[in-house]
Structure 1
Amino acid sequence: MTRNKKFAASLASLAVLALGLTACGGDRGGGANHAGGPDIEPGASKEDYIAAFEEVDPIELDFQYASLNPKSFSSLRDIEWAENIEEWSGGKITINTHTAGSIAGPTEVPDALADGRLDLAHYYSSYEPQEMAAFVDMTKSLVQLPSSPLVGELVSNAVLMEVGFNTPEVIADFEDRGMHVLHPANPVGNTSMVCREDKGSPADWQGAQIRGNTQAHEIQAKALDGTLTSVELAEGYEALERGVLDCSLQSTATAYNAGWMEVAPFLKFPKEASFAPGPGSLVAGSSWETLPLIAQQLMFDVMPDYLSGEGFNAVTSVVIAAEEARENGGSMEFLDKESEKALAEANKEILKQVEESPNVDGAAMNRNVSDAIEKWTGIAEELGYEEKGEVTDFADWYEGSMDFNDREYLQPFADRLYEEVVVPNRPS
């Protein structure tokens, strides 16, 4: 390996400062291994962190972020997270960022994390259903979440994060392959269908070639009388442009960031049911175990901005995608009633599959997801988030900013998610 990566073997020379630093405690969540040293309490300031890093040797890490497009919202989210780590470490941590696929393809990421080509990555976890079986069961169970452009977008992220961290079989899917979980499942927004031509009735779906990115999409595509086709993200634009694909199921943010509105400008959303999510994950590789504890903790403690960036990515992309679809001669509309009914029946079959899964206690999984949906929907409402219209006129009633650097509207939900889910799973 040609990259020169220096890690601190220990922080023994650091005195226990009056900065809220305490002796190492028991391990939790994503921090089961570390090179040792004192730790710092959650809520420590940037100044506290900079002071604590003064005697730490420089650390250099390679991070492959979520998108092919460095200006996409998911890339901005990931790059900002990396920059915050560098800044809060006082420059002691350097993170080299790389576009998706530039070092490792979607299914090659675990190997790249294990052999040192990558230290951190957004991993397309749902692309490998056999290796990530419990993870996929969790994503299937999320079809219980009603479709919603604001509350549903926020809640889906919270539910996947909470249930993911709290389900041992899901965490084992990662750990058994040498990955350490920083965020178990980023849905990048709820799933929509984008199509080259409008699909206004059940007959329009007959024989449609539909791209999907998770196992449950095969059942959902079949229910619409279409056929699921395997096409990688990087090939989606050309496949839609040439007519190899008729439609694609993915988050609206992914479709917008990949430029697919130009060739597939007809967006369809369920009104009550939902398409299954195909989330990715934020993970670390083999070098995680060599990092001092304080470096691991920092990656978790700058998560509030990451989470609000995820919320912005999911929510704002719906508004922008609708506008771009119209500019390209398309539209954003609900599925017709008969297609929605067929999707709802398919979702019952998907939940039954989860209940009968050999990978997890399926009944418990469905119940835990349902309980988490209720909990986080209540929290969203408590914080003042509410649906004031339909997804088809979302731009008219959404109250947040369209500027990525202004996420004040979404930050309270992100902060609550950090407090309730990230902190209990923070390394210690």
Structure 2
Amino acid sequence: MYFSSLDPDRSQFLAARLSGVRKTMPVPAWPRSERELPVVELEVAWVRFSVINHRTKAEQIREQGKAGRNDLFSRDPLGEEAQRAQYSILCGQEGFEDLKSDLKSRRQQEPAIVTADGVLINGNRRSAAMRSLFVEDDVRSAQYITCLVLPADATAAELVDLETELQVAKDFKQDYSWINEALLIEELYERENKDFKRVAERVHRKVEEVRDYYEKIQQVHQLVALSGGTREYVDFIPNETAFAELAKHVKNKSESEAKAVKDVYFLGTLVGVEYRNLRHLRRPDAAELVVNELRSHATLAPLLEALPEVSGSASTSEDDYLLDSFLEEEPAVSEPLESVLRLAATKRPEETVQAADGESIEMTDLMKSLRDVIKSAAQEAAEDSQDRREITAPLERAEKAAVELKRLLDALPKARRYDAWDEREFSAKVDRLEGLLRMVKELS
């Protein structure tokens, strides 16, 4: 990491700038006992953005994919390429223009925090906004940014702790997406010997909340990996509730049910089915319901016909597969829905697939059809659940009534000990109960 060996030229420059500086400010979040840090003004174009900023981790993964470079931010973190990419990410975040307007009118209100060679640990977005104001909008008041400077021997762990305390633990600021929060929590979990209690203490949250974030991101990891690079972590920022419900449901379920529900949730999320519909499919036969809808769909039925286990063919030639148009290796066909999911995950919207009957299908049309199919399956599941509730409701209510009557028998002797007890009123209520029971027996 860049902070394990400071850039000598930059650190010497900043040390010279600090020479003679007397002004300091306390930073309560700094983990050391000496929390007073020197204050200095630095040119906004000179400071460097932190490329280990957890606020932008998912966006960095996306940019690495676009560039085809896993070392985009690690090979030369302070170099022009990495810094330009990080600046672009920061400028593209929601609310950036509002932040610029605020800084233009009110100027900088809180100091940023930098390492001894001028890398921002806190204040990256403000610095990017000020740089944009100065460089692009020629706002001269944004030329310098006020910074607090950390000691030259600050460690990686101390910097992560500081970022966590300043930007996450206090209030989980709005510019932290849930994906990036979860990625940070996952990193802390590994660092804290896989102890959720210790992570919860770090971020000032309940243990169950931290665990939920960790379990949600595990589901996202699986779907991103399944896509083979087609889908990015940032694509799933709008789907937090779906991943939360999925992670909670599969936790204590059998392997078969967990897989069925996971496949349906993953496919539904990819094609844009709302979580309110998907939740009806949290049941052991979820995959079966969706596959049945696929078989009855005119456009999608050829997809299932091309799968060996469905058609009954044992052939493994390329002509037997719908998926040969986009998979280099033979697809897993242990379950029809799995191959459909793989198709939706790995194909881009602008692509087409070749169906078993030779027809080309636009992915945009295919995704819409899949969305309709899953919604239909969800509706069927909802109606089935309603029917089951209606069937079991009388039994459940009878059981509750029996429990209440048992409580009545236990409470009656105690109540009769008091002078204020009204036996006549009680007898009237018993008569009403007897009348209701007669009606129930007459219906049976």
Q: TM-score if structure 2 supplies the norm length?
A: 0.20
User: Which entry has the higher C-alpha Rg, 1 or 2?
Assistant: 2
Where relative contact order (Cα < 8 A, 6+ residues apart) is larger, the structure is 1
TM (norm. structure 1) is 0.20
Say which structure is richer in strand: 1
